[in-house]
Amino acid sequence: MADRDDTAAAGDLGPVTTLATPIRLDFEFTPGVAQSRFLRGLERGRFIGQRCPKCGMVYVPSRGSCPTDGVPTTEDVELANVGTVTTYCVVNVPFAGQSIEIPYICAQVLLDGANISFMGLIQEIPADQIRMGMRVEAVWVDPDRLTPSLASVRYFRPNGEPDADYESFKEYL
Amino acid sequence: MAERCAVIGVGQTHHKAKRDDVSIAGLVREAAKMALADADLTWTDIDAVVIGKAPDMFEGNMMPELYLAPALGAVGKPMFRVHTAGSVGGSTALVAAHLISSGIHKRVLTVAYEKQSDSDAMWALSVPQPFAAPLLAGAGGYFAPHIRAYMRRSGAPEYIGRMVAVKDRRNAMRNPYAHLHIADIDMKMVEESMMLWDPLRYLEACPSSDGAAAMVLSSEDALSGQYPPAWIHGMAMRSEPTMFAGRDQVNPRAGRDCSADVYAQAGITDPRRQIDVAEVYVPFSWYEPMWLENLGFCDLGDGWKLTESGATAFDGDIPWNTSGGVLSSNPIGASGMLRFLEVAMQVRGQAGEHQIGGARVALGQAYGGGSQFFSMWVVGSDKP
Amino acid sequence: MSAVAGRRTPRPVSIASFAQARNVRRDDEHNEVEMLMPVVAEVFGTIGITKDDIDFICSGSTDYLIGGPFSFVTALDAVGVWPPKSESHVEMDGAWALYEAWVLLQEGEIDAALVYCFGRSSPGNLNEILALQLDPYYVAPLWPDPVSLAALQARALIDAGKATEADFAAIASRSRRDALDNPKAQVANDIPAEKLLEDEYIVSPLRRHALPPITDGVAAIVLAAGDKARQWSKPVWITGLDHRIETHSLGARDLTSSPSTARAAEGAGVSDGPIDVAEIHAPFAHQEIILKEALGLDETVVVNPSGGPLAANPLMSAGLIRIGEAATRISSGRAHRAVAHATSGPCLQQNLVCVLEGE
Amino acid sequence: MPESEALHASHRLEYPYARSVGPVIGAFLTGLRDGRLLGVRGSGGSVIVPPTEYDPDTGDDTGEVVEVGPGGVVESWAWVPDPLPKHPSDRPFAWALIRLDGADTALLHAVDSGGPDRLATGDRVTVRFRPAAERIGSMADIEAFVPEGGAA
């Protein structure tokens, strides 16, 4: 109907088929009060979680509420530097924003004392030797490079303890 | 009491990696006009329009119902926009259906779409935020650990995922609208495809597609169209939090509760026996056996056995995703609606080469977020 | 279900409870969950219920305000949806989330719904963000800001002889004076209109006073039907609810009128009885004039006693707040029948009208 | 409790979207690149500028492409004394809705009139394209509209 003779005739460039519309927007971001406490803990080389006053579960990080009760989590709980790999995958695919050489292990780590796992990088072990239940410890960046960010945790590595029993973490899969 | 509601028109685009021949409006109109034609209606016959899509950042077009209102003949009418993450195509259809079952409208057009190629799906799904964890895994990396957990729990052999990948791609060969048409797909090809997120291989993951889906829904006194109506026998949505202590991400309770609700409405007590065909949101191969269990088609831990037995294959007793499913076409915002639309096509007998003969009751399911948002409907050829 | 002469009689649904945060220029301490939690607690607490009494939840928000996808997903943690709930989200103002919940309540299968919305307007630059609502090929690439588009509409209104700049100032002056009685308002003051006319133009013919403030705010409403409507509070009934959209291109619209509001008002039955109070979502002063005409309101109607959006305009929430404010006027006995209005899009492209009545 | 417990950081959301435009928008953008203004005939015979695949009121398919302009009438305008960084002009200008000759709908663009006292509703303006070598097929190919018979 439209892209015919008269419009294309004017030049040999051919019809316009795409339009570049770059979009750049700037924001001031805050993660909120509760998550900031977690992040400030990372800056000190510590994992700080928060306990729900109703169900007693410990969230790390807490976004400020207990996701099941909908009430504020207020009691800070310092967690261990060690935990258990509940499940994992091996990342073999390059993608934009990736900063680690593939293949590498991406695991759900359940810190001792927490009731929720979070995703962490596992190193110092070949990718084919990772196991569900493996005990791991956090390796932090040098003290002078600690920041309020998960980048302060370089990675987790096996700490040599015997694997956790499947029954002990199967509720967290 | 709720009014009866039926699907009387369906339309979808040819889904492709890049639909570089159309604008966003052109894409949605392709599906919408096809649905109107199927229902023998024009824009003026429609009372209200409900659209859905995944994040606006895919196209960089905020609240697109505003720009798309005239393109979908919505001027002067109610126009509504739904966004519930990956389940959005399903929930959009449900919001549209409630506009009928509540008695408010007679005919509603519902459309879902994604034009992912305007940007990059991987970018739009994981826009890096300050203070967030470094980007570790990408989209499939979120789900791969849960797949491993399923394998551990059920003892499923590793080739099950490959069977699903082959089955759905072979089904796609019967569907002219599917994005992926891999004629020579077999177990070996899947096994030799690149390992992306171990245990997930390239050919076990969904593509990224441009595409749109549309349906015309009608009340009982406003039926039209060339094919018999697909009556809605049950519909439900359920959500649970993204992360909480003791959350079962392999077999989420929100999915179980949602199916229990929809089955109760539809009078289904034995899904495997009573449901003739299902379209279920399976973006990664292993989600077929996982959802077989979650949706109650078998006992816990037995989903993979059903897949292995061929029960879910085109000639099985409960064919799943005869259209090729999300594994063969994945315009994210529309993927859920395509599930709902495909089962309507089945019970209307208009699915062409991927039609299951005699299909009378069918289940459509969509899920989204971290397996936390579910929407489902059961449609049938009989009036409920 | 009756469908007499095109308009059915809806199932009575009551605004059982309403809560909003104090509207502020900037809340940069809290994330959306932390902003919502106290408001959700209040909307339940004032009528003595919990989340377990709720059958359906619907929320309204947009990802673009904070520049990250899926902000509604984590916001759910402010409610605690466990066991799983029937729940949905619209990428629209909370007033449309209320519409979805009201639709479900019409079927008679459920009796209670929670509606909430959140809009932090401060993190980004609204002048740029809202340009992304415009035609992505022809208009958004030029980055027209919402103030400029509103100014085109205001000029058209003046040219049509329907208003003067003094009218805009009078509306702004009255709104912010009324806001002095609203503890949740962001901008409240008592400045005479003549003084406001000394303001500089931001984009002519709009001076600063005719613009809405930039606001962070959240709000929630509990809807109840059946026995719960009377058990939980003195009912404020939704007797009519409708919404309509216009075409998108500003150059294809008559900007001096709001036909979509007029149609929604007809659908909601605004003219079926006298209106005491109107809470109108007119972010720019001149839009109140257009909307009053479209709603068919005469000079006896009290408009925006809360101060309206000129006193606080949290995006994605300001529409739902209009419904909450109108309901509050009725529940507190200061009005019997009220109309609330919400808008979306450039120059009032999409409009929702809600009619409320006390017993 | 300390003054501000929460952390803050700046966040940039940026992507170079590339949109396929389809035949109708493509015709208009091609016209811009070639220095011409095009519209499309809507279902009721009216001429829609800029052209869309659909009639803005009925949603019906639009028809033949027609040339419009280069002059037109200002239907409304708004003077911007302090342009924002992303605006199409870095000196004061007017946004205007311009109904081009031969068109039934108005186009939104910038008018460079030199001052708010030199523009009024109903004024005639004409298009000022960027030099041909700079045009790529986008709205920015129009530098601005200027008052007919003498620019600022």
CB-CB under 8 Å, A21 with B141: no
Mean pLDDT of C180-188: 98
> Does the CB of C251 have a partner CB in chain D at under 8 Å?
yes
Eight-state DSSP code of residue B327: T
How confident is the model at residue B120, as a pLDDT? 84
C152 has pLDDT over 70:
yes
How confident is the model at residue D51, as a pLDDT? 98
Question: Could you tell me the two tokens for C160?
Answer: 């049509």
CB within 8 Å of chain D, chain B residues 51-70? 57, 59-60, 70
Identify from B27, B33, B36, B43 which residue to disrupt to test chain D contact, counting D C-beta atoms within 10 A and taking the largest count.
B43
Place of tokens 């007919």: D148
CB-CB under 8 Å, B23 with D21: yes
Mean pLDDT of C69-89: 94
- Band of residue A170 on the pLDDT scale cut at 50, 70, 90: confident
Among the partner-chain residues D16, D25, D26, the one whose CB lies closest to the CB of A22 is D16
- Band of residue D1 on the pLDDT scale cut at 50, 70, 90: very low
Q: Which residues of D touch A148 (CB under 8 A)?
A: 7
How confident is the model at residue D43, as a pLDDT? 87
- Band of residue C7 on the pLDDT scale cut at 50, 70, 90: low
Radius of gyration of chain D (CA): 19
Q: Which residues of C touch B66 (CB under 8 A)?
A: 133-134, 245, 248, 344-346, 349-350
Chains in contact with A, where contact means 3 or more Cβ–Cβ distances below 8 Å, are B, C, D
Question: Could you tell me the two tokens for B282?
Answer: 């399976």
Share of chain C above pLDDT 70, in %: 98
Among the partner-chain residues B20, B29, B130, the one whose CB lies closest to the CB of D11 is B130
From the CA of D66, how many Å to the nearest CA of chain B?
A: 20
Mean pLDDT of C228-242: 98
Q: Which residues of B touch D56 (CB under 8 A)?
A: 70, 75
CB-CB under 8 Å, C67 with A70: no
Mean pLDDT of C302-313: 98
Alpha helix ranges (H) inside chain B: 24-38, 65-68, 88-101, 121-125, 138-154, 159-172, 187-192, 253-266, 271-274, 287-294, 303-309, 332-348
C197 has pLDDT over 60:
yes
CB-CB under 8 Å, C34 with A25: no
CA distance linking residue B288 with residue B308, whole number of Å: 11
The pLDDT mean for chain D works out to 95
CB-CB under 8 Å, B83 with C73: no
Which residue ranges in chain B fall short of pLDDT 70? Answer: 1, 134-139
> Does the CB of C144 have a partner CB in chain D at under 8 Å?
yes
> Does the CB of B217 have a partner CB in chain C at under 8 Å?
no
CB-CB under 8 Å, C346 with B62: no
CB within 8 Å of chain A, chain C residues 54-73? 64, 66-67
The pLDDT mean for chain B works out to 95
Q: Is the ipTM value over 0.90, yes or no?
A: yes
Among the partner-chain residues D11, D17, D22, the one whose CB lies closest to the CB of B23 is D22
Chains in contact with D, where contact means 3 or more Cβ–Cβ distances below 8 Å, are A, B, C
D2 has pLDDT over 50:
no
From the CA of B289, how many Å to the nearest CA of chain A?
A: 17
Reported as type and span, the H/E element at residue D95 is strand D93-100
Residues whose CB is less than 8 angstroms from the CB of residue C215 and which lie 6 or more positions away in sequence, other chains included: C23, C24, C25, C119, C121, C186, C312, C313, C314, C315, C318
pLDDT digits (tens, 9 = 90+) for D43-52: 889 999 999 9
CB within 8 Å of chain A, chain B residues 233-292? 241-246, 248-250
Identify from D3, D29, D30, D36 which residue to disrupt to test chain A contact, counting A C-beta atoms within 10 A and taking the largest count.
D30
Q: Which residues of C touch B264 (CB under 8 A)?
A: none
CB within 8 Å of chain D, chain C residues 285-344? none
- Shortest CA distance from A148: residue in chain D: D7
CA distance linking residue C64 with residue C131, whole number of Å: 11
CB-CB under 8 Å, A70 with C79: yes
How confident is the model at residue B173, as a pLDDT? 98
CB-CB under 8 Å, A68 with B148: no
CB-CB under 8 Å, C131 with D96: no
Residues whose CB is less than 8 angstroms from the CB of residue B175 and which lie 6 or more positions away in sequence, other chains included: B322, B323, B324, B328, B352, B353, B354
CB-CB under 8 Å, C145 with D84: yes
Question: Could you tell me the two tokens for D58?
Answer: 């009925």
Mean pLDDT of C204-209: 98
How confident is the model at residue A1, as a pLDDT? 35
Cβ count within 10 A of residue A98: 16
Q: Which residues of C touch A69 (CB under 8 A)?
A: 80, 82
Mind spelling out the 3-state secondary structure of chain C? Answer: CCCHHHCCCCCCEEEEEEEECCCECCCCCCCHHHHHHHHHHHHHHCCCCCHHHCCEEEEECCHHHCCCCCHHHHHHHHCCCCCCEEEEEECCCHHHHHHHHHHHHHCCCCCEEEEEEEEECCCCCHHHHHHHHCCCCCCHHHCCCHHHHHHHHHHHHHHCCCCCHHHHHHHHHHHHHHHHHCCCCCCCCCCCHHHHCCCCEEEECEEHHHCCCCEEEEEEEEEEECHHHHHHCCCCEEEEEEEEECCCCHHHCCCCCCHHHHHHHHHHCHHHCCCCEEECCCCCHHHHHHHHHHHCCCCCCEECCCCHHHCCCECCCHHHHHHHHHHHHHHCCCCCEEEEEEEECCCCCEEEEEEEECC
pLDDT digits (tens, 9 = 90+) for A128-142: 999 999 999 999 999
Domains and CATH numbers, chain C: 4-125+215-232 (3.40.47.10)
pLDDT digits (tens, 9 = 90+) for A32-57: 999 999 999 999 999 999 999 999 99
Lowest mean pLDDT across A96-100, A162-166, B118-122, C23-27: A96-100
From the CA of C318, how many Å to the nearest CA of chain B?
A: 16
User: Is A62 within 8 Å of D30 (Cβ atoms)?
Assistant: no
Among the partner-chain residues B22, B118, B127, the one whose CB lies closest to the CB of D18 is B118
From the CA of D39, how many Å to the nearest CA of chain A?
A: 10
> Does the CB of C63 have a partner CB in chain D at under 8 Å?
no
From the CA of B180, how many Å to the nearest CA of chain A?
A: 20
How confident is the model at residue A94, as a pLDDT? 77
CB-CB under 8 Å, C125 with A68: no
pLDDT digits (tens, 9 = 90+) for B217-273: 999 999 999 899 999 999 999 999 999 999 999 999 999 999 999 999 999 999 999
Identify from B21, B148, B250 which residue to disrupt to test chain A contact, counting A C-beta atoms within 10 A and taking the largest count.
B148
How confident is the model at residue B13, as a pLDDT? 98
Q: Which residues of A touch C79 (CB under 8 A)?
A: 70
Q: Which residues of B touch A55 (CB under 8 A)?
A: 245
> Does the CB of A1 have a partner CB in chain D at under 8 Å?
yes
CB-CB under 8 Å, D15 with B21: no
pLDDT digits (tens, 9 = 90+) for A60-116: 999 999 999 999 998 999 999 999 999 998 988 877 666 788 889 999 999 999 999
- Shortest CA distance from D56: residue in chain B: B70
CA distance linking residue A133 with residue A139, whole number of Å: 18
Among the partner-chain residues B134, B137, B149, the one whose CB lies closest to the CB of A87 is B149
> Does the CB of C133 have a partner CB in chain B at under 8 Å?
yes
> Does the CB of D53 have a partner CB in chain B at under 8 Å?
yes
D81 has pLDDT over 90:
yes
Residues whose CB is less than 8 angstroms from the CB of residue C6 and which lie 6 or more positions away in sequence, other chains included: none
How confident is the model at residue A4, as a pLDDT? 37
CB-CB under 8 Å, B152 with A173: yes
> Does the CB of B138 have a partner CB in chain A at under 8 Å?
yes
- Shortest CA distance from C83: residue in chain B: B240
Chains in contact with B, where contact means 3 or more Cβ–Cβ distances below 8 Å, are A, C, D
The CATH label, of 3.40.50.11720, 3.30.70.20, 3.40.50.300, 3.40.47.10, for the domain at B5-121+208-222 is: 3.40.47.10
